[in-house]
Amino acid sequence: MRLNNIHLTLMLASALFITACSTPQKPAEDEPSTAATETEVSVDDQSATTTGIGSGESGSSDLEGGQSSEEVTNIPRVVYFEYDSSNLNQEVQLIIAAHALVLSQNQDWNIVLEGHADERGTREYNLALSQERAQAVADLMQVYSIGLDRIQLVSYGEEEPAVLESNEEAWAKNRRVEILY
């Protein structure tokens, strides 16, 4: 991708996702408990590495770029894939660009990319497929100058489905990469 294209994509991404948060979407700001605890990121207390935004630690850090965790959470955290594919469609590319923009303004944030597959086919092939999906997201982030040293890839294969059902709709939701920082 050429540089001016990258710039354009980043502008578009920021217009789509980041400015959207100037109008607060959560009406329940008088309930103090929700902001700190509500998160889509499941933090396994036995795992050493995964921490989600809004899990407390990063929620307290107001960073130089003026980003707050709430702004960041307006960008979709999960991107989806076609069956047996690690191709990034246009919408997914924009989402990743938006994340890249935030990450470029918050240089001390590290990223975990969790790759997943739907249940069809063999577990080992799905493990490899989920790795390819996470790698594809990492590769695009690298195009936006997010260093690979900031990115950790995790491959779950079909082991951690988002939806525990066996139908087209569930499979579509399970073919995903979760972007965690």
Partner 1 sequence: MAKYTWQKHIGHGLAWWLMIVLSIFRLESAGAQGVTIEVTGGAYSGIPISVVPFSINGLPDPNLQPADIIESNLRASGRFDVIPEEQHLSRPDALNEVNFRDWRLIKSEVLVIGNIVNLGNDRYEVRFRLLDVFSETQLVGKKFVVPTNNMRQAAHQISDAIYEQMIGRPGDFDKAIAFVNVRSTEEGKTYRLQIADSDGWNPKTILESPYAILSPSWSPDASRIAYVSLEDNKTRIFIQNVWTGERTAVNEFEGLNTAPSWSPDGRKLALTLSRDGNPEIYVYDIATKLAKRITRHTAIDTEATWSPDGDTLIFTSGRAGRPHIYSVPAHGGQPTRLTRDGSYNAGPTFSLDGQHIAMITNQGNGYKIGLYSVGDGSGTVTELSTAGEEEFVRFSPSGDMLVFATTVGNQSRLSTISVNGQVQRFLKYEDGAYREPTWSPISFNQ
Binding mask 67-106 for partner 1 (x = CB under 8 A): -----------------x----------------------
Contact between 179 and partner 1 by CB under 8 A: the answer reads no
**Cα-atom radius of gyration of the chain, to the nearest Å?**
16
Among 23, 48, 108, 167, binds partner 1 (CB under 8 A): 48
Contact between 137 and partner 1 by CB under 8 A: the answer reads no
CA distances from 33 to 58, 97, 118 (A): 16, 31, 34
Residue 123 C-alpha from the chain's centroid: 23
Piece of the chain touching partner 1 by CB under 8 A; list 24-32, 90-98, 153-161, 170-178: 153-161
Cβ atoms 85, 120 nearer than 8 A? no
Cβ atoms 59, 70 nearer than 8 A? no
Residue numbers at the binding site for partner 1 (CB under 8 A) = 44, 46-50, 84, 120-125, 127-129, 131-132, 135, 153-157, 159, 166
